[in-house]
Amino acid sequence: QKEVEQDPGPLSVPEGAIVSLNCTYSNSAFQYFMWYRQYSRKGPELLMYTYSSGNKEDGRFTAQVDKSSKYISLFIRDSQPSDSATYLCAFDGLTFGKGTHLIIQP
C-alpha cells in the first residue's frame, strides 16, 4: 500500500461549481496536513495547513481532516478559472501526493 494516494485527474468542472479534492494515507503517525497549489512550471504554494481532525476554512477554501479514516479533503467553493492548477496534499511537510490536475471551465 502506498503511503499517500491521490487521484491525478484531470478533474474538469464548470466555473462556479464546488470542487472536492481528496487524499488517503496509511501512516497514522502523520500529524500535519497541508494542501499546496501548483501552477504549471511554478513552485508549489501553500494553501491550507492543519493538524487536527475537523474543518478549517479560509475564504473559498475548506480543508477537512478525518484521522480515523486517514482521509483528507480540500473543498473549493465558487470555483474560478484561476483555480485551474495542480493541487498537492502533503503530510508532515515532507510526504507529498502525486497531485490532482484541476481544470475550471469558463
61 binds another protein (CB under 8 A): no
Q: Using the rule CB under 8 A, which residue among 14, 43, 59, 106 binds another protein?
A: 43
14 binds another protein (CB under 8 A): no
CA atoms within 13 A of residue 32's CA, in its CB half-sphere:
9
Residues 83-102: x where in contact with another protein by CB under 8 A, - otherwise, as a string = -----x-x-xxx-xxxx---
Q: Using the rule CB under 8 A, which residue among 42, 54, 69, 80 binds another protein?
A: 42
3 binds another protein (CB under 8 A): no
Compute the least distance from the CB of residue 79 to another protein, in Å: 22
Residue 28 has phi, psi (to 5 degrees) of -70, -10
In the block, cell 473559498 appears at 60
Beta strands in the chain (DSSP E): 4-5, 11-14, 19-25, 33-38, 45-50, 54-58, 61-66, 71-76, 85-91, 95-96, 100-105
**34: nearest Cα among 46, 26, 20:** 46
Question: What residues make contact with another protein under the rule CB under 8 A?
Answer: 4, 6, 8, 32, 34, 36, 41-46, 49, 88, 90, 92-94, 96-99
